Structure 1
Amino acid sequence: MEIKTHFDKLIGKSAQMQRLYNMISKVSRADSTVLITGESGTGKELVAQAIHKNSARAENPFIPLNCGAIPKDLLESELFGHEKGAFTGAINTRKGRFELADKGTILLDEIGELHPSLQVKLLRVLQEREFERVGGTRTVKVDIRILAATNKDLGVAAKNGNFREDLYYRLNVIPIHISPLRERKDDIPLLIEHFINRFIGKFPDSQDGKEGQRTLNILPEAIDLMLNYQWPGNVRELETLIERFVILDETGTITQEDLPPRFSDARQKAEFSGVLQYQMSPEGIDLQTHLDDIETSFIIQAMEISGGVKSKAAALLGLNRTTFLEKLKKKGLDAKLNESPIT
C-alpha cells in the first residue's frame, strides 16, 4: 500500500493518518453529513477543508463557523441571517452562513456548544435544507453539505440530555475520528520538518532578509524529549512551539535546554511511573521477586552512571560500600559487571 505523508494540508505517515486519508477520499465522493471528532488541536477543520476540496463542491464556498465562539443571540443571525428591522441594529437584510455556503460546504465547529433552541432549527436544515431568516417569513432553500466537528462525545451528551438525540443521529451519518498526537508519534518528526520549513519561509533571516537561507536543526536529545511528551495541545501545540523556536533562534540549533520545562518534567514523570506501575494478575504476584527486579535495575544503573566505581555507585543509592558489595555478591552481579565495559 502506498504510504502518503501529505493529504492537502494534513501531515503524517502513521497508520492512523493513512486510515484518515482513505476515509476522506471515500466521503468526499458522497454528499452525506460528516461528524468529525477529536481533541482540540488535532486538525478537525483541516479534515473538513480536505473533504470539501476533494468533493464536487470544491469550486464553491467553504464556510466555517465556530458555534462556541458566538453568543446564542448573535449565533442565530450568523447561521440563518436576518431581515431588516428584525432587531435593534438590523439596519439591512443580511444573509447568514447557510446562505453564504449555498452550493458549497458549511462546517459547524464545536457543534456540542449549540444552544438547544438552535439545535431544533438546525435539525430542520439537516432534514429539509430550508429555514427562515430571523424576523422573516419567507422560506429560504439552500443546497449545502453540512460538516460538524466537536471535541465532545455527543453520544454521551445525548444520553445525558445535554444534546438532542435526533440531531446527534442526523449529524453522525459518517463519523470520522482524528487520533491525538500522543497516539501517532511517528508523525512528530515529519510535522517538525514541515513547520520548520513553513516558519523559516515566513520569518527569513533578519540579517540578510532572504528567504531560504536559514536552517534550524533540533538535536536528537531534544527530539527524544519531544517524542516522549504527551502533547495535550496536539498538533497545534507542536506548531506554536516550532514557531517560537524559529522566531527566537540565534544559533540554528535547538537543544533540550531550549525546550520548556514541561518536557523534562514529563520524562521524569514517565520514568517514575515506569518504576511504580505494574499490572497485577487476578492470580496475584510474587512481590519479593518484583522488588528484587527493581533493586537490581537501580544497582545496574548506578554502576553505569558511576563508570563502574563501586563506592560512587553505593553513594548514588544511599548505601554504604559494604552493604552495596554484599548486594552485588548476593545477586551475582559482581562477576557479571566485572566482565562488562563499565568496570
Structure 2
Amino acid sequence: MNTPPLILVAEDEDLMRAIVSRLLEESGYRVAAAASAEEALDHFAAEDVAVTLTDIRMSGMDGLALLDRVKDIDPEALVVVMTAYSSVDSAVAALRKGAYDYITKPFVNEDLLQSVKNALRQRELFRENRALRRELDRRYSFSEIIGTSESLQQVFRLVEKVAPTNTNILIYGESGTGKELIARAIHHNSPRSLRPFVAVNCGALPETLLESELFGHTKGAFTGATQARPGLFRSAEGGTVFLDEIGEISQALQVRLLRAVQEHEVTPVGSSAPARFDARIICATNRDLEREVSEGRFREDLFYRLNVIELHLPPLRERREDIPLLARHFVKRIAREQGQDEKSVEPAAMTALINYNWPGNVRELQNAIERAFTLSGERVDLDSLPPRVRDAAGQAPVVLDPDGLRPTLAEIERRHILDTLASVNQDKARAANILGIDLSTLYRKLKRYDAV
C-alpha cells in the first residue's frame, strides 16, 4: 500500500494551522504541522516532505527566509506560500525566490487543494526526470557498449578524446555495428548532453522529404505544408545532429549540406532567408566514402568537412572474443525486460555464436539471443538458436590468437570462464550458475589458472 505524501504546514496562528491541517488530512494526506519556521525546518530536514505550505508572515523567521533555507537543503523542493490580500507583493517575491505557487487568505478550500495537487504532480515529474537521467547515464555510458577487444578499446579511447569537443565526426561501420549508439555516447558525454540529440537515416527518405526534414520549410512551400517547420538542424539547437547513411544523399542535397556544415546556417524550403543554428554534426556510413569521392558520387569538399575525425567500428566477426560478453549481456537484459530469471548459455550454443560470421553484426546477435531466450528452457541451448547460427556449431573455431594461431579448446574455456567472472564482478557463485557448472568445479579450474 502506498504511503500518502507528507505535507508540511508552517503557520504560527493556531486556528489557521488547525484548519489547514484538518483540510489536508481529510483529503488523504499526511500532515506535519509546525508553529514556526524553525520547527518547520526541523521537520523538513528529518522527514520526506512532498510539499511545504507556509505562511509568509510569521514571528521569528518569516516564510521567505524559510523558503530560502528549504531551497538550500533541496533546490527542487516545492513550496506553496500563503499570504493575505494586502501582501501580494511578498507572494511575488516568493515566486521569484523559487516558490511553486501562492494562495491568498482567506482561501477557497478547493483552490488550496488544487495547488497542492499541482505541486505533487510537479514533484512526480521531477522524479521521472531524475530516473530518466539515470537511465540515460546508464544506457549511453561507455560501459553499455560491450566489449574488451583491442579494436573496440581503440574506439573508446578516441571517443573519450573527441566527446568534449565540437569537432565533426564521421563514423564508419557495417550495418548493425552500433554507429548510432556510439554517436549517442559521444553526445551524452559532451557539454551538449542536456540539449537535443536528433537523428535521421538519410537513406530511408526520398530526396524531397529529406530536404524539408533537414532544412525545414515555410507554410505553403509545397502541397501538404500546412505549417512551417524548423527542420532537424534548428530543432537540435545546442545539441547534436546525427546523419546516418550520409553516403546515400544526392548530389543536389550535398551542395546544400555543405553550406550548412560550413556556415552553420540553413535556408528552409520556400524561403530565401537563411537561419543560423548551433549543433554539432556527427555522420555515419557503411560505404567507402573515399572511393565514392574518387568515382565522383560524393563531393570531395563535403567529405573533408565531415571527415575531421573518423571512427571505424569493427564488424563483430573481427572481434569474436566479445561475443560471449555480448551474449550474456543480452540474456541479462531480455530476462529483466520479460521479468524472468537469467539463463546460462550451453557451451555448444556459445560455440555456434562464436563461429557464426554475423553479417548483421551486433543487431543480428541481439535478435538471435532474444529468439533463443524465448524458445529455450532453463538454458539457452543449440536447438533454440536460428538455423543459420546453429549450423556454425560444427565449424572449426575461428577465434585466433594475436599471432594468428588457433587457440586450444582449453584456452577457449579459460578465456570464457574468466570473461564470465569479469562480467559479474568476480561473483563466483553467479558465474558458476551462468556457466552451468558446480561452484567446486569452478574453484578447481580457477586454481589451475592461478586465478583464485
**Contact kept? 2:172, 2:179, Cα under 8 Å:** yes
- Aligned alpha-carbon RMSD (Å): 1.5
Counterpart position of 2:330: 195
Alignment partner for residue 209 of structure 2, among 63, 69, 74? 74
Counterpart position of 2:443: none
Three-state SS of the structure 2 residue aligned to 1:39 is coil
**1:262 equivalenced with 2:388 (yes/no):** yes
CA shift at 1:264, angstroms? 4.4
CA shift at 1:164, angstroms? 1.0
CA shift at 1:261, angstroms? 2.4
Alignment partner for residue 122 of structure 1, among 234, 257, 260? 257
**Contact kept? 2:352, 2:391, Cα under 8 Å:** no
Moved over 6 A (4+): none
Per-residue CA shift, 1:177-235, capped at 9, x if unaligned? 00001111111111111111111111124xxxxxxxx1212111111111111111100
**Contact kept? 1:29, 1:56, Cα under 8 Å:** yes
Q: Would you say how many aligned residue pairs link Structure 1 and Structure 2?
A: 257
Alignment partner for residue 246 of structure 1, among 373, 377, 386? 373
Counterpart position of 2:272: 137
CA shift at 1:244, angstroms? 1.2
- TM-score normalized by the length of structure 1: 0.72
Alignment partner for residue 306 of structure 2, among 159, 171, 174? 171
Q: In the alignment, residue 254 of structure 2 is paired with which amino acid?
A: Q
CA shift at 1:8, angstroms? 4.8
Structure 1 unmatched ranges of 5 or more = 1-5, 206-213, 272-343
Counterpart position of 1:227: 354
Structure with higher Rg: it is 2
Any residues of structure 2 matched to 1:209-228 within 5 Å, and which?
214-228=341-355
Counterpart position of 1:59: 194
CA shift at 1:268, angstroms? 5.5
Three-state SS of the structure 2 residue aligned to 1:65 is strand
Per-residue CA shift, 1:223-264, capped at 9, x if unaligned? 111111111110001101111122233x21122222222234
State, as a whole percentage, how many aligned pairs show the same letter: 50
Counterpart position of 1:43: 178
Structure 2 unmatched ranges of 5 or more = 1-140, 398-452
Question: How far apart are the structure 2 equivalents of 1:105 and 1:264?
Answer: 41
Three-state SS of the structure 2 residue aligned to 1:11 is coil
Question: How far apart are the structure 2 equivalents of 1:73 and 1:19?
Answer: 38
Alignment partner for residue 235 of structure 2, among 71, 93, 100? 100
CA shift at 1:10, angstroms? 1.1
- TM-score normalized by the length of structure 2: 0.55
